[in-house]
Amino acid sequence: MFKKILAGAAATLVMSTSFAADMTGAGATFPYPIYAKWAESYKAATGNGLNYQSVGSGAGIKQIKAKTVDFGASDMPLKQEDLDADGLMQFPAIMGGVVTVVNVEGIAPGQLKLTGPVLADIYLGRITKWNAAPIAALNPGVKLPDADITVVHRADSSGTSFLFTDYLSKTSSDWKSNVGAGTTVKWAVGVGGKGNEGVAANVQRIKGAIGYVEWAYAKKNKLSHTQLKNKDGVFLQPDDENFKAAAAGAEWTRAPGFGVVLTDAAGKQSWPITGVSYILMHRTQLDATKGVEVLKFFDWAYKNGAPAAAELDYVPMPANVVKLVQANWKAQMKDASGKAIY
């Protein structure tokens, strides 16, 4: 099933035909595998469907602002002033990890070690060969080929790109000053792919390629991931325990709109490119039925979605954060008359 789910540069999840309570959403590709799994289970449990377009965070933000979907999804949290300007509410749905993936002959999954500064120099076009001295120094005893590196990055406005470039900005002063962090940046080199799906496909296709994708895409597409060095100087393999460790110190109550960024978190077990995927909804719901159904879906996911999340190596939201989110729903979500809908 997941080969079909993850195929294509702009995957669309349609879990039912047309029912009055069906929800529409669009945005981040980062959480798409878990939203697909949740939607399938929710449809079986309730009969209500979800049509979610995996089109990238930037497109999701545009669609929710234009009110063409019931909710948008972004892996880059919006600032409170931006939420207020468009009458939006933001809440976290799921957490997970972004990993670097390579297609290098003779390199086994998880064998290669990389750091933020070396990754930055690769993506700046300064390191162009797999056996270059900076890579070789991190990987003594590993036979690295004299092969060209092909950089693969996102071609669309992407929350995954935000997480990746935010990590590079925190670990490389050159990257921060020359490129910076964002859902779209001016890439120095490389080829683009649309969505996590497109990046994964390009890395699979191009010998010598390196890219970045959400961990579920790397696993399902059998891509060779790399180790990454975290803030405490430890080289780690990606897994849900390391994603949880990165999220452990998040200060949700201090972040306006729950806008926590987990990249380059302290802690020996913290995966350095961990992120949160956010849901965006209008505070005033002109179609209260649809608004209620979206909240019911995510409430169901909070309560019942942990096993599926664990299966795909995502990290469910902690119970204390869920309570904060639900309180926020009660306080902010209204119908056209101003009456609370949750």
Q: What is the pLDDT of residues 173-231, one digit of tens each?
A: 999 999 999 999 999 999 999 999 999 999 999 999 999 999 999 998 999 999 999 99
Structural domain includes residue 215: yes
Q: Tell me if 8 sits within 8 A of 29, measured CB to CB.
A: no
Report the sign of the C-alpha dihedral through residues 107, 108, 113, 118, in that order: positive
| 285 shares a domain with 312 | yes
Count other C-beta atoms under 10 Å from residue 193's C-beta: 23
| 113 shares a domain with 87 | no
| Nearby residues of 16 by Cβ (< 8 Å), 6 or more positions away | 22, 43, 48, 49, 50
Structural domain includes residue 160: yes
**Which class for 116: exposed (0-12), middle (13-18), buried (19 or more C-beta within 10 A)?**
buried
Name the β-bridge partners of 98.
214
| 133 shares a domain with 228 | yes
Statement: the pTM of the whole predicted model exceeds 0.85: yes
Structural domain includes residue 261: no
pLDDT score of 10: 42
pLDDT tens, position by position, 37-68: 999 999 999 999 999 999 999 999 999 999 99
| 77 shares a domain with 161 | no
| Enclosing domain of residue 171 | 98-250
> Residue 274 carries which side chain, given as an amino acid letter?
T
| 213 shares a domain with 114 | yes
Q: What is the CATH number of the domain that holds 192?
A: 3.40.190.10
| 231 shares a domain with 87 | no
| 242 shares a domain with 111 | yes
Structural domain includes residue 264: no
| 207 shares a domain with 300 | no
| Cα separation, 186 vs 94, whole angstroms | 28
For residue 215, give the H/E element and its range: helix 215-220
Per-residue pLDDT of the chain (342 residues; tens, 9 = 90+): 333 334 443 444 544 334 445 899 999 999 999 999 999 999 999 999 999 999 999 999 999 999 999 999 999 999 999 999 999 999 999 999 999 999 999 999 999 999 999 999 999 999 999 999 999 999 999 999 999 999 999 999 999 999 999 999 999 999 999 999 999 999 999 999 999 999 999 999 999 999 999 999 999 899 999 999 999 999 999 999 999 999 998 999 989 999 999 999 999 999 999 999 999 999 999 999 999 999 999 999 999 999 999 999 999 999 999 999 999 999 999 999 999 999
| 331 shares a domain with 301 | yes
The count of structural domains within the chain is 2
Query: Which of 250, 284, 317 represents a domain boundary (last residue)?
Result: 250
Structural domain includes residue 340: no
| 82 shares a domain with 156 | no
Structural domain includes residue 260: no
